[in-house]
Amino acid sequence: MTHIQHRLTEVRRLLEEKNLPALLVMQAENRRYLSGFTGSAGMLLITPTQAILSTDFRYWEQGARQAPDFTLHQAAGGYKDFLPGLIAAGGKPARVGIESFTVTLAQYEQMQKVVPDVEWVGVNGLIENVRAVKDADELALTQKTIDLAEEGLRYLLTLLKPGMTEKQAAWDLEVYLRSHGADALSFDTIVAAGPNAALPHHHPSERVIQANEPITIDWGAAIDGYRSDLTRTIVLGEPDAKFREIYGIVLKAQLNAIGQIKAGQTGREADAFARDVIVAAGYGDYFGHGLGHGVGLAVHEQPRASFTVEDERLPTNSLLTVEPGIYLPGWGGVRIEDMVLVQEQGVEVLSHFEK
């Protein structure tokens, strides 16, 4: 059984549990995960006996090549022109699941209008939860992206010096990644120096990097759709007492979490292993985001480790970032992020760049 066939089998099992005779898949990463199709337009219809890829003429040949387990259905025009035919090709199921977080209100209204005899049922997280558990090929590819990302930062650190701008540093890192095997960046690289390091998602600017100030670098490489996500915070020169204090707290929090996270815990429990350390040090108000998230075909996916997650548990063989941070307005911040593989007895750290 191929990976695609195994994934379809699991989704069909979940549909049977939910008493849903069909599922319409429109979210891009879900579509790719279940079919192999990487085109930017199309939808899948999954039933107990059929797997159909509907796409337009731009992707017809691509769909045939990338999704051999699927029957192709030509999409042309608007929903009224092809959606009734797609549903008919799937055996005219009376109830069809749709991805609630993907389908817009306008799309839903169009679906109801052009196929009025179908009950459209919102489904949340069904495929995303399947995607959270990584197979051996996914893990090998992820490790490749991590290794390349770490090579890229090692290269950047041979160039990085006071006087460079944040933008130049981010560009140098991007050029290395793309010229050494990355298909793309996992996301827009963050280089945040000095007070900008207090902004968790700062966009690199023309600010000139200074000696002896915190510099947060958050980056990743993408290969064949899979992604890495890492962060290191450094100083060019001599760290002062404040930096050493904040860095030490964040590192202690991260290592405590890495040492205690394991499969079966809730996202809130995993988050607390790091958060409790930061709160005890008096900086709880300055760690405002969750501890981590899954990474795969998307840079943010299931599972989640956060103080907001009480009823979702970390599955075995899921990937998770562990990225506590402290952000002090006007001074800067420190974030340290590694990727780990969650197992029943603990985690395996997949990233190894020095801290």
pLDDT band at 164, cuts 50/70/90?
Answer: very high
Task: Return all residues near 35 (Cβ < 8 A) that are at least 6 apart.
Answer: 4, 44, 51, 53, 66, 67, 69, 70
pTM: 0.95
- pLDDT of 155: 98
Rounded to a whole number of angstroms, the distance between the first and last alpha carbons of the chain is: 42
Domains 3-131 and 136-349 share a fold: no
Domain 136-349, CATH class in plain words:
alpha beta
Task: Find the length of the chain.
Answer: 355
For the segment 26-52, the average pLDDT, to the nearest whole number, is: 97
Residue 241 has pLDDT above 90, yes or no: yes
Beta bridge partners of 98: 24, 122
Residue 32 has pLDDT above 80, yes or no: yes
Domain 3-131, CATH class in plain words:
alpha beta
Mean pLDDT of the chain: 97
pLDDT band at 1, cuts 50/70/90?
Answer: confident
- Residue-wise pLDDT tens digits, 174-213: 999 999 999 999 999 999 999 999 999 999 999 999 999 9
How much of the chain exceeds pLDDT 70, in percent? 100
In what helix (H) or strand (E) does residue 251 lie, and over which residues does it extend? helix 241-260
- Residue-wise pLDDT tens digits, 69-128: 999 999 988 899 999 999 999 999 999 999 999 999 999 999 999 999 999 999 999 999
Residue 19 has pLDDT above 80, yes or no: yes
Task: Return all residues near 271 (Cβ < 8 A) that are at least 6 apart.
Answer: 290, 291, 292, 305, 306, 307, 309
- Residue-wise pLDDT tens digits, 264-292: 999 999 999 999 999 999 999 999 999 99
- Omega before 303 within 30 of 0, i.e. cis: yes
* Domain parsing of the chain, residue ranges: 3-131, 136-349
